[in-house]
Structure 1
Amino acid sequence: MGKTLDEDIAVCWLRRDLRLEDNSAFYHALKSGFPVLVIFIFDPAILDTLPNKKDSRVAFIHRRLKKLNEQLRKKGSSLLVLHDLPKWAFQKLIFEYGVKEVFANHDYEPYARKRDGEVAALLAEKGIAFTTFKDQVLFEKDDVLKQDGTPYTVFTPYSKQWKHRLHLEGVPDYPSEKLLDELLKIQPKEFLSLEAIGFEPVDKDVPEIDLSEGLIKNYHNTRDNPGVNGTSMAGVHLRFGAISIRHLVKQALEQNETWLNELIWREFFMMILWHFPHVEHENFRSKYNRIPWRNNEKEFEFWCKGETGYPLVDAGMRQLNETGWMHNRVRMVVAGFLTKHLLIDWRWGEAYFAGKLLDYELASNNGNWQWAAGTGCDSAPYFRIFNPDSQMKKFDPELKYVKKWIKDFRPGYIEPVVEHKFARARALETYRRALDF
């Protein structure tokens, strides 16, 4: 069997950049001089780790790909969706097409780096260039370093240097949407169904992103109140690159520095994961390896179900279980409760969040869990232990959030799994003994 097309082409491999506009790799592919074929690969190495075959994240990706395919078909092209290990998908692709160059955007997670290395090696054997670009973040890897050339491990000085570099360099622009005439003209490809990749349709859609000026400008006033609609829901869309980080940074620069800082936290944790990949499975600070976690499975189950007897914790977990999302302030409280009040290893909580969160991102999830446990780089000190009831009185005083997610709420609705004063003293003693060892 010969090649489907005799002409030389470039391939743009979409991964975590599911958009045709302001897409760095796509822009460079369209400028390559070759007609561009756009592909996406559903990777069994990732999909097979997902136990729930009605996964909202996979359904979101599938819906997004269908939209992109519609856009491409209007230009006489088509999105090629494959279901295979990327190395083998490319093996078949270069057999069928005259591929001269492959373009993709950087991915920083350990598995992605291994995957890209394998694909690059395969393509190099065939004399095909594999070129990748920065797109998920404004600054990556070694872009923002201390004067001595080492990575920052504290957020505040990192963020100051990040902003300084942004001031000097500005926000780049990759108007890929203006170059769509350079697409490869092909007949529509058969579009893989969810069932074909082993998944089922999901009723609930991912929440729409809200980038209204009123919300962003008032973000610093509303972001800590879970009973108010004060968050943009950008996380899910940013996770899969359905929106450009450059677009969000431009808006943040114009409208709200607090919101900009949240975007910088995301890049900070990505930088940490890049320079310190051991954090994926281990404490950033090795001395915290001495903490004797209690890891009581029954108490962990109470926490997972939202049955701890602490209303703000339980409301947060029930929101997560029902919707795949949780308010950021509440995430901080529930993570602190698990690690400090119950002395359960942060990795248990991190894994639970990874299975549930629509906006799950390894670097941010890991960074925030280690922050809550006190084991991370720029973390809450071990002696900072949030009182969930005080947090509720401060940030949900009218119990709007609590009553929304705990339908049968009433004072004393569940006997608390542990008493706060006792748990706080136990955590302090446990941490102190381990760290003073």
Structure 2
Amino acid sequence: MTLFWHRRDLRISDNAGLYRALKAGDPVQPIFIFDRNILDKLPNKADVRVEFIQRSVAELAQAYRAYGSDLRAYYGKPVEIFRQLRDELRPTAVYTNRDYEPYAIARDLAVKELLDEHDIPFRHFKDHVIFESDEVQKKAGGAYTVYSPYMRRWRATLETRMSRHENEPVSFYLKPYPTEKYAANLLQEPSPHPVPTLAEMGFEPTAIEIPPREAPEEVIEHYDKTRDFPGTEGTSRISHHLRHGTVSIRAKVRRAMKLNDTFVKELIWRDFYSNILQEFPWVVDRSYRSEYDNIPWINDEEQFAAWCEGRTGVPIVDAGMRQLNAIGWMHNRVRMITASYLTKHLLIDWRWGEGYFADKLLDYELASNNGGWQWAAGSGVDAQPYFRIFNYESQQRKFDKDYRYVKRWVPEYGTENYPARPIVEHKFGRERALRVYKEALREARNA
């Protein structure tokens, strides 16, 4: 028996590692582990991410039952679960798809070492991205740290690989893996470990609605024209599905290439930030540009609380934060504006904002979240320069001129119940940020 371990790939179709496991020929038993190393640290027991994952795993189990198989689901710590599986089932191999976050790498290494004790192979494959960091490199070697040349090389690499593999039934790149073709190799037994309920894991349901796995075709077709306007339904809203692998990134790129090139570029950004995390894992805790760790952040806790709760007196910032708190998602343009306001106007450490987003976002992905926050703060790869500070008033006029988005999320806007002035106004905040950043960076260079 072979075990296939689902993690960020909650689907059967077009699943690289599952395809490899099934094609190898031994009966395959799929498993999923609700990881207590992660779940026990979550501050809110009504967590939409846990609810989404639990629901998706239950749907995955049902999909396996349609093939006469079933999913074994566990709630515990992966190493302990695999010690139990190793001794009870004595698998001949364990297959899975790669995860690039530092915790996941350490977890997989510990599981591999446990399996090595009994000479059980631990085989892992690329599924979550189109290209890993070693596949898109500079001509002289090394990872790209600027998006535009990375994007050009990504496209050139894809074109070359697609033509090279065009006569093969499966490639590593955009052709779908025909997993269903080998479904007969799934172990045909009911699971003695059904998917646990939220209550059994100590969590509660939420009232948040999960967007569908597929964006309407007209949204993708007009993506380049509508994506920056938060008052309209102009984005795909599939980021959480990509995060948890309920959809295939290859399928989404294939579709985007037919409909809208700007959407393709957004998907390339996802690979770009994943590659950065793979090459420079220390960016999780430190600025990519080390001199930015010398910024003397003010870190005013009352102002941070006002930002978190959408009480800054800046309408578009408050709307964004309230949207995040209400539905676990925020429009991407507004993510940039809220991040700029926190790091530049309030002079609060980007790590505080990154951590808050990590707690709230349904589509939280370490690589993209970290990359976006360091971009806003000026400290990351291909970041906006420190002297580029969003003017929230001009952003409002340009992207939500009728206050449609603001009025949806800040209903008291325009009444006496809404602050007459922001906690930090633009002119003062901009001048202070320029002075503080400039002095700190100069001192760092001269140190």
Tell me which interval the TM-score lies in, with the shorter structure as reference length: over 0.9
Say if 2:112 is the partner of 1:120. Answer: yes
* Partner residue, 2:141: 149
Query: Aligned equivalents of 1:251 and 1:155: distance in 2?
Result: 22
Q: Which amino acid aligns with 2:368?
A: S
Structure 1 moving runs of 4+ over 3 Å: none
Q: Summarize deviations over 1:65-113 as a string: whole Å, max 9, x none.
A: 1111111112221100011211111111122213001100010000000
Q: Which amino acid aligns with 2:338?
A: V
Alignment match of 1:305 (pick from 304, 309, 324): 309
Question: Pairwise CA RMSD of aligned residues?
Answer: 1.1
Identify which range, 15-24 or 85-94, moves more after superposition. Answer: 85-94
Identify which range, 179-188 or 315-324, moves more after superposition. Answer: 179-188
* Partner residue, 2:246: 242
Q: Which amino acid aligns with 1:185?
A: Q
8 Å contact from structure 2 (residues 176, 251) kept in 1: no
Identify which range, 233-242 or 169-178, moves more after superposition. Answer: 169-178
Say if 2:384 is the partner of 1:392. Answer: no
8 Å contact from structure 2 (residues 345, 430) kept in 1: yes
Q: Summarize deviations over 1:416-437 as a string: whole Å, max 9, x none.
A: 1012101100000000001111
Superposed counterparts of 1:330-345, under 5 Å:
330-345=334-349
Alignment match of 1:90 (pick from 82, 95, 106): 82
How many residue pairs align between the two structures?
A: 429
Once the two structures are TM-superposed, the CA of residue 163 in structure 1 deviates from its matched residue by 0.4
* Partner residue, 1:409: 413
Say which SS state the counterpart of residue 142 (structure 1) adopts. helix
Unaligned runs of at least 5 residues, structure 2 = 163-173
Query: Aligned equivalents of 1:201 and 1:228: distance in 2?
Result: 28
Superposed counterparts of 1:326-365, under 5 Å:
326-365=330-369
Once the two structures are TM-superposed, the CA of residue 141 in structure 1 deviates from its matched residue by 2.4
* Partner residue, 1:201: 205
Say which SS state the counterpart of residue 103 (structure 1) adopts. strand
* Partner residue, 2:295: 291
Identity, % of aligned pairs? 51
Superposed counterparts of 1:20-169, under 5 Å:
20-169=12-161
Q: Summarize deviations over 1:373-404 as a string: whole Å, max 9, x none.
A: 00001101000001111101100011110000
Query: Aligned equivalents of 1:210 and 1:409: distance in 2?
Result: 34
Identify which range, 81-90 or 208-217, moves more after superposition. Answer: 208-217
Q: Summarize deviations over 1:272-295 as a string: whole Å, max 9, x none.
A: 111111100010011111110010
Say if 2:220 is the partner of 1:228. Answer: no
Say if 2:195 is the partner of 1:180. Answer: no
* Partner residue, 1:423: 429
Once the two structures are TM-superposed, the CA of residue 49 in structure 1 deviates from its matched residue by 1.6
Query: Aligned equivalents of 1:387 and 1:130: distance in 2?
Result: 51
Query: Aligned equivalents of 2:99 and 2:66: distance in 1?
Result: 29
8 Å contact from structure 1 (residues 372, 379) kept in 2: yes
Query: Aligned equivalents of 1:128 and 1:314: distance in 2?
Result: 53
Query: Aligned equivalents of 1:348 and 1:117: distance in 2?
Result: 29
* Partner residue, 1:257: 261
Query: Aligned equivalents of 1:374 and 1:411: distance in 2?
Result: 35
Say which SS state the counterpart of residue 102 (structure 1) adopts. strand
Say which SS state the counterpart of residue 229 (structure 1) adopts. coil
Query: Aligned equivalents of 1:91 and 1:209: distance in 2?
Result: 35
Query: Aligned equivalents of 1:83 and 1:209: distance in 2?
Result: 26
Q: Which amino acid aligns with 1:65?
A: V
Say if 2:16 is the partner of 1:13. Answer: no
Unaligned runs of at least 5 residues, structure 1 = 1-8
8 Å contact from structure 1 (residues 11, 102) kept in 2: yes
Query: Aligned equivalents of 1:178 and 1:228: distance in 2?
Result: 41
TM-score by length of 1: 0.96
Once the two structures are TM-superposed, the CA of residue 195 in structure 1 deviates from its matched residue by 1.9
Once the two structures are TM-superposed, the CA of residue 196 in structure 1 deviates from its matched residue by 2.0
Say which SS state the counterpart of residue 50 (structure 1) adopts. coil
Once the two structures are TM-superposed, the CA of residue 411 in structure 1 deviates from its matched residue by 6.5
Query: Aligned equivalents of 2:21 and 2:214: distance in 1?
Result: 31
Query: Aligned equivalents of 1:185 and 1:49: distance in 2?
Result: 36
8 Å contact from structure 1 (residues 73, 188) kept in 2: no
TM-score by length of 2: 0.94
